[in-house]
Amino acid sequence: MSHVIVIGAGVVGLSVALAAQARGLSVTVVDRDGPAAGASAGNAGAFAFTDILPLASPGILRKAPRWLLDPLGPLTVHPAYALKIAPWMYRFWRACSPRAVAHSTVAQTALMDLSKAELEPFLTRTGTDHMLAKRGNLQVYEGEAEFRASFPGWQARTDHGIEFHHLDAKEMADIQPGLSPRFTHGTFTPGWYSIADPKLYTLALAERLQADGGEIRRAEVAGLALSDSGASVILADGTSLRADKVVLSAGAFSHRIARTLGERIPLETERGYNTTLPSEAFDLRTQITFGGHGFVISRLSTGIRVGGAVELAGLSIPANFKRSEVMLKKAQAFLPGLDPTGGVQWMGFRPSLPDSLPVIGPARATPNVIYAFGHGHLGLTQSAGTARLVADLLTGSKPSIELTPFSPQRF
């Protein structure tokens, strides 16, 4: 039986491990902190299959100058990190051209369609289907101008056959009572799913992997090495773990490990912040996206989560929880009935590539190492689709979508 080591015990890594296991492969998962210790624990819990437009787009360029002037706003570059991230920002700017956006949208759409098709069968196989909810998403707008500015994005979704409904204030109130009257228009997308709690879901995947004979090993990975018939994972204590294949899915730390094979992938970290309030904080009936302010509010089985935004500050600069506080104050203003007390703050690292697409494919040095990282805001959303694609690569099957746009060597 072929042996696969998966580096990373987040939702993508564990989904890949389970998909490999289902193909009859022996699987060991290695992670420095164990399952669900990173971004998989604190995300908004959404399967955002209709979110086919890349973050890198002309729209974000229009908003960025205004946002960047606010150190606690939806998009911030930490002053101490500005020089280091400049090359990534230049690549991001280039990825915002209309031609690049069109290319990325086609690729993103294909991965979203695959991920949606794979999700429910994956949940059924792993015994986690009871955790899925289908409450939809409501995007809200402050005034006619902001509403109309969203139309090109909705036209792209129309072209792909995605269902949505534009709403006035009364229609929004029927779906979600309690919104501030400042929001005059909205768009409801029924095909937006959510998970009961992303951390509990990821932990359930870990339990299923182990129950089916997989191993999860807590250890820090220092690098990768090649061997005649496979690859080796080198741990920080000097131990070498050999495998027939290795999958690198270590989130925001993946590029450091890939560099040990001589591969430089421009992965950066979008630091996301949130506050999770008690469940009784608000009668939330659907996920709400406050696009003009860069955050969402979601109902989980464990509470009401208010979070989002982007802080580009790398992996080492201390967290700035004033960002969580600002979002919570805005949420209270936008939902006047929201009780802001009793919340728990969190910050996590979202692994992000400048063109908003993940890398899925073999390393330049060897086909025995496969990369699967860089999903940005969409790791949970694209986890089942990525798992299917990596399992195909591990077993020599033809991937069900074209992988060229996701090539690790595209940069």
How long a stretch of residues is the chain? 411
- In angstroms, the CA 36 to CA 206 distance is 9
Cβ contacts of 208-213, under 8 Å, gap ≥ 24: 208/18, 208/126, 208/127, 208/128, 209/14, 209/17, 209/18, 209/21, 209/27, 209/29, 212/18, 212/21, 213/21, 213/26
Q: Where are the domains of the chain?
A: 3-41+200-266+356-406, 49-96+128-193+267-352
What is the token pair recorded at 117? 């098709």
- Which class does domain 49-96+128-193+267-352 fall in? alpha beta
Alpha helices, H only, 136-279: 144-149, 151-159, 169-175, 198-211, 254-258
Tokens of 276: 């999770």
CA atoms of 315 and 222, how far apart (whole Å): 16
CATH topology agreement for domains 3-41+200-266+356-406 and 49-96+128-193+267-352: no
In this predicted model, what pLDDT tens digit does every residue of 233-272 receive, in sequence order? 999 999 999 999 999 999 999 999 999 999 999 999 999 9
In the prediction, which pLDDT does 62 show?
74
pLDDT at 72: 79
Q: Is 121 within 8 Å of 15 (Cβ atoms)? A: no
Query: In the CATH scheme, what is the code of domain 3-41+200-266+356-406?
Result: 3.50.50.60
Question: What pLDDT does residue 16 have?
Answer: 98
What pLDDT shows up at residue 410? 96
pLDDT grade for 73, boundaries at 50, 70 and 90 = confident
pLDDT tens, position by position, 328-368: 999 999 999 999 999 999 999 999 999 999 999 999 999 99
Q: Could you tell me which of 388, 389, 364, 386 has the C-alpha nearest to residue 375?
A: 386
Number of helices (H), then strands (E), in the chain: 12, 21
Q: Which residues contact 364 (CB under 8 A, 6 or more apart)?
A: 261, 262, 263, 408, 409
Residue-wise pLDDT tens digits, 21-37: 999 999 999 999 999 99
Statement: the pTM of the whole predicted model exceeds 0.85: yes
